[in-house]
Amino acid sequence: MASDAGVRTATALPRRVAMLSMHTSPLAPLGGRETGGMNVYVREVAARLAALGVAVDVFTRRASVGEPEVTPFAPGARLITVTAGPKSRIKKEEMPELTATFADGVEAFRAREDLRYDVVYSHYWLSAAAGAVLAPRWGVPHAAMFHTLAEVKLRARASESEPPVRIEAERRLVQSLDRIVAATEHERRLLTQIYRVPAERVAVIPLGVDLEQFTPGDQAEARSRLHLERQGIAPDARLLLAVGRIEPLKGLDILIRAVAQLNERQPAVLAIIGGDDRAAADVAKLSALAEELGVAEAVHFLGSRPHEALPDYYRAADVVVVPSFYESFGLVAVEAMASGVPVVASRVGGLASTVADGRTGYLIAWRCPEPFAEKLEVLLRNEQLRRALGAGAAERMRAYSWDAVAAAVGALLGALAVEGQTAASA
């Protein structure tokens, strides 16, 4: 499931990895403005690398006074919070000027603990900027996964805005990294075409899914466990589900317009999981849109939910919808399909690689409500088709295990560590 780019030369796993996740903790609840698939990735890969015998320290910025400095979250893996700026939650836009301070905090912890890391593995551009300070200081290789790239987001949705400091930093960082991890071949092509990164410096390693947690199950039992009626959803409702951050790039306005176009003979309700207090303005806009279109009673904003609760929400749904303007991989789609539920998604980014059109769900080429409504109606009126696509989805997702992802990441980081040691001794 992984490209061998940058992996072939590995002779051993690294002994100790510094994994940087500056702007968001992998242990934070999902669905907030800064939490999503990346949080799951960092937590799962760190835990499974540790299970392979690699000591993993994940560093994040301290976002509250009460956070402990060190929190073990799996045998051999621990989260370290570093003070950089105020000990409170701040916006990502305020963090670029804190990357050097964050790097200094990571170094202070390393020195105090008398540790030696074999490689730095950074996540998102802010962490990569901090890693670009630490890796040369420590004399070790630096790998990074960007998860999203500013110029790609801007091309996906013209109304998106990204700070110039991010655009400039990503342009610089992609050229200095020893290896970039991309989730799909599509992302590697973007890195080579837009950013002119040599293909051999990009390793393609897909994201994964917990195949023990996300499994097919009985829909009625899942709905009963969730007590959907307490959330305003009838136990026998045709249920559409969307999961993730609530922001314009996720295309939820398109989905609400699609719900408004559904045939009245196939009524459905839409449950949206995600959003925190900082998403209040976006939720208000979407609620107003639903009211304007006459479907306010059919649209339910459930707020954020613990990751461990998501399998039942997926199983309770008839269809999971991912109408995003861009997804670098599309972890929600993968989790839904592993749970045996068909997915209707935009044909963008990693979704085009993970959703098999006509076999595990449908891909929509145009980001407008009509084609979404058309495919949703097809699925809502045909239970046999839903079951067939759901079964095909669960079968296809068997290849996407976090253990396989961690093994590929370990091989890559091991190869880099060997290269770094060889260069140091030359």
Residue 23, domain extent: 16-208+401-425
Contacts of 125 by beta carbon, 8 Å cutoff, 6+ apart = 146, 150, 166, 169, 170, 173
**Comparing C-alpha atoms, which of 53, 22, 63 is closest to residue 39?**
22
pTM: 0.81
**Comparing C-alpha atoms, which of 176, 200, 177, 178 is closest to residue 188?**
200
Q: What are 112-127's pLDDT values in tens digits?
A: 999 999 999 999 999 9
Q: Decide if 268 is inside a domain.
A: yes
Q: What is the pLDDT of residue 306?
A: 86
Q: What are 207-252's pLDDT values in tens digits?
A: 899 999 999 999 999 999 999 988 889 889 999 999 988 989 899 9
Residues 324 and 202 in one domain: no
Residues 325 and 409 in one domain: no
Residues 26 and 122 in one domain: yes
Which token pair is 96? 């670029």
Q: Check pLDDT > 50 for residue 375.
A: yes
Q: Decide if 120 is inside a domain.
A: yes
Residues 61 and 179 in one domain: yes
d(CA 279, CA 264): 31
Q: What is the pLDDT of residue 327?
A: 86
Q: Decide if 68 is inside a domain.
A: yes
Q: Check pLDDT > 60 for residue 34.
A: no
**Comparing C-alpha atoms, which of 289, 286, 319, 291 is closest to residue 302?**
286
Burial of 58 (0-12, 13-18, 19+ CB in 10 A): buried
Q: Decide if 11 is inside a domain.
A: no
Q: What is the pLDDT of residue 3?
A: 46
Q: What are 332-362's pLDDT values in tens digits?
A: 999 999 999 999 999 988 898 899 999 999 9
CATH number at residue 35: 3.40.50.2000
Please, which residues bridge with residue 17 across strands? 56, 119
Q: Which DSSP state fits 328?
A: S
Q: What is the pLDDT of residue 11?
A: 52
Count Cβ atoms below 10 Å from residue 267 Cβ, excluding itself.
13
What is the pLDDT averaged over residues 400-421? Answer: 93
Residues 203 and 245 in one domain: no
Q: Check pLDDT > 90 for residue 36.
A: no
* The total number of structural domains that make up the chain: 2
What is the pLDDT averaged over residues 372-391? Answer: 96
